[in-house]
Amino acid sequence: MSSFVNPPQSIKEGAVEIRFDRSDGKIRVTYIVDFAKTHLSPGAAANVQKAIVAVLRKGLGVSLSRLK
């Protein structure tokens, strides 16, 4: 579980945006990747998505309950 008292500010860099919100005592992490801006192949885009999920799970110590 995350130890954030307040969620960090949103991060927006190029085609990637990561938002943090607090709800019911939990930190909600939402990430958006505009793959149309990246010109990646579908396989490369899937690898980027897997990397983002891995960073969020391991680096921030958050659990991801669902992906859209």
The pLDDT tens digits of the residues spanning 9-33 come to: 888 988 888 888 887 877 788 888 8
Dihedral angle sign, alpha carbons of residues 12, 38, 52, 22: positive
Q: What percent of the chain has pLDDT over 70?
A: 75
**CA gap 38, 56 in Å, rounded:** 20
Residue pair 9/68 in contact by the 8 Å Cβ criterion? no
pLDDT at 68 over 50: no
pLDDT at 21: 84
Task: Decide: helix, strand or coil at residue 56.
Answer: helix
Q: Mean pLDDT: which of 3-17, 33-47, 49-63 is highest?
A: 33-47
pTM given for the model: 0.59
Q: How many helices (H) and strands (E) does the chain have?
A: 2, 3
